[in-house]
Amino acid sequence: MAKLLVTGGAGFIGSNFIHYWLKTHLQDEIINLDKLTYAGNLENLKDIEKNPNYKLVVGDITNVDIVGSLVKDCDAVVHLAAESHVDRSIMDAAEFIRTNVLGTQILLDAVKQYDKRFHHVSTDEVFGALTLESKNKFNENTPYHPTSPYAASKAASDHLVRAFIYTHKIAATISNCSNNFGPYQFPEKFIPLAVTNLLVGKKIPVYGDGLYVRDWLFVEDHCRGIDLILEKGRIGETYCLGGMTSEINNLEVIKKILKILGESEDKIELVKDRPGHDRRYAINWSKAKQELGYQPQFDFDRYLEKTVQWYQQNKNWWQNIKSGSYKDYYEKQYQ
Ligand code: NAD
Ligand code: TYD
């Protein structure tokens, strides 16, 4: 039986990871350390909040005392807490540096002090952009070239983890994954934004020419990838995790969503491009396959349809976000 400290467990991937872990590791305990920023939503964890193997601690990863006491008392840390939205980082980078860089350093100090296993969840955005023409994909040896403040803050956190591995010999691993999709994703991100806009009759804002390519990874495949790294990953190593169907451009994604919802292409609105918009991401996950047996199981078309259905069936979940009332849940349940 192990005790896992998960940071950022009230966010999109964190809450999916906690659901996944409690289902697949029945003996384990999870402590969720989350600050409950705008992206932290306890409604994501409603169904497991009374599970005796789960406990929430509301707190900030930059708080040395909270982090120290929780790290001391766990077996391993899975670090997901971050500011995660590129557009917000373009408007103001300060929180990204504080949480993603300083927060990671504070966790690393505690991991070093108490000699714990650490897994750092990062992004393929640290590698910058690929061109549409090239056949290349990102892999573990791709040089870092972050272009957005978000990506730069994640790159800095990856460098810190590597420095602590090299200098302090901490037992850490890193994963760099592609764009996740699935249930509980905050509707500022592309897929849930598109679906929820359509469900209230609005158009979908598509940046620039819409020909930006992403490598979509269903969130449960990502959770299994992290599990495999914790179980079999070599200490000190980085693993790239990508999706099954791989590369699709934004207009193609939207056309698939329009088809699923029986809507017309009039709902597409090409809008001003994001500054510094990365043209293409794609992941070569062969190292994770060879060393860990990682193999995505959820193909894009089928699980995009299931994801759209989830947002259709869970209107209250995203309507509470749009109205702001999701923040009352903590007050009602925990105060
Ligand atoms: P998210 O924005 O949905 O959730 C982030 C969570 O972290 C929230 O619950 C928030 O309250 C919490 N948090 C933020 N600052 C905190 C702080 N200072 N202290 C404690 N908790 C804090 O993010 P996500 O999409 O679930 O991403 C999780 C991780 O995966 C991030 O590290 C992100 O960089 C990485 N990642 C995400 C994607 C993606 O497609 N979503 C892709 C690659 C990597
Ligand atoms: P996003 O979900 O923000 O993830 P990331 O920027 O980390 O890849 O965006 C995915 C793609 O969708 C990206 O190419 C930007 C584009 N996009 C739009 O075209 N319109 C939007 O309103 C948003 C939020 C994103």
Please tell me the predicted confidence (pLDDT) of residue 335.
63
Q: What is the mean pLDDT of residues 19-42?
A: 98
- Report, in angstroms and rounded to the nearest whole number, the Rg of the chain calculated over CA atoms: 19
Nearest to 228 by CA among 218, 217, 239, 219: 239
The answer to whether residue 332 scores a pLDDT higher than 90 is no
Residue type, 278: D
Q: Which domains are seen in the chain, by residue range?
A: 3-186+217-249+282-301 (3.40.50.720)
Q: What's the distance, CA 293 to chain centroid? A: 21
pTM of the complete model? 0.98
213 touches ligand 2 (CB under 6 Å):
no
Helix or strand or coil: residue 144?
Answer: coil
What distance in Å separates the CA atoms of residue 223 and residue 21, rounded to the nearest whole number? 8
CB atoms within 10 A of CB 50: 7
Q: Mind listing the pLDDT tens digit for each residue in 64-87?
A: 999 999 999 999 999 999 999 999
- β-pairing, 213-215 vs 247-249, is antiparallel
The pLDDT, as a whole number, for residue 246 is: 72
What is the pLDDT at residue 124?
98
Q: What amino acid positions are annotated as catalytic residues?
A: 124-125, 150
pLDDT in tens, 111-134: 999 999 999 999 999 999 999 999
* Ligand 2 pocket member 129 (CB < 6 A): no
203-216 pLDDT, tens digit per residue, is: 999 999 999 999 99
Cβ of 196 below 6 Å from ligand 2 = no
Give the distance (Å) from ligand 2 centre to CA of residue 270.
Answer: 13
